[in-house]
Amino acid sequence: MRNYSKNGREFVYSTIGAGESFGEFAAIDGRPRSASIVALEDSLVCRMGSSEFLSVLSSNFDVALRLMRLLTAKLRGLTDRQLELVASNSRDRILSELARLADTGIKRGASITIQPAPTHYEIAARVGSQREAVTKELNRLEALGYVRVSRKHIVILDMARFREDLLTVQYP
């Protein structure tokens, strides 16, 4: 999910995985969408109109409860991101984003592979920074032996060491 400022600067709120939903806000409150969605790979998407969506919610408590939990998780994630943007410097925001990306990465022993690797621009758009700052930080992390970076993947060589040594904010 992404949006653009009036001067054209992009900000990426989140990445949605297979089986996840989007567009709930507009379906519930009838206002225009608050963000855009861009598919990063071939996708099959189903659409449900607002009136049908609200009808399902009103007739099925289990679905309504799952939606409330989903919206609560999204709000908590955005609250965490807001605090991070206000209280952390660019380096710490980049490190935190790498840790978030690692949560869905491929684990091999102590290492985690983030694949496909987002571009430096995409990481910058996620953390409210500049591409150059991301490149500089990834180069620093590689020189210190925390990561290995290529066009197709980012490998965090020892996730426990990465978290212990580098992350100032610990997420549950």
pLDDT above 70: residue 107: yes
Q: What is the pLDDT of residue 106?
A: 96
pLDDT tens string 61-98: 999 999 999 999 988 988 888 888 888 899 999 999 99
**Residue burial 156-172, b: 16+ Cβ < 10 Å; e: rest:** bbbbeebeeebeeeeee
pLDDT above 60: residue 120: yes
Q: Which residue has the higher pLDDT, 18 or 70?
A: 70
Task: Kindly report the CATH number that applies to the domain delimited by 89-166.
Answer: 1.10.10.10
Q: Where do the structural domains in the chain lie, given as residue ranges?
A: 2-86, 89-166
What pTM does this model have? 0.70
* Helices 90-102, 61-87: inter-axial angle, 10-degree rounding: 150
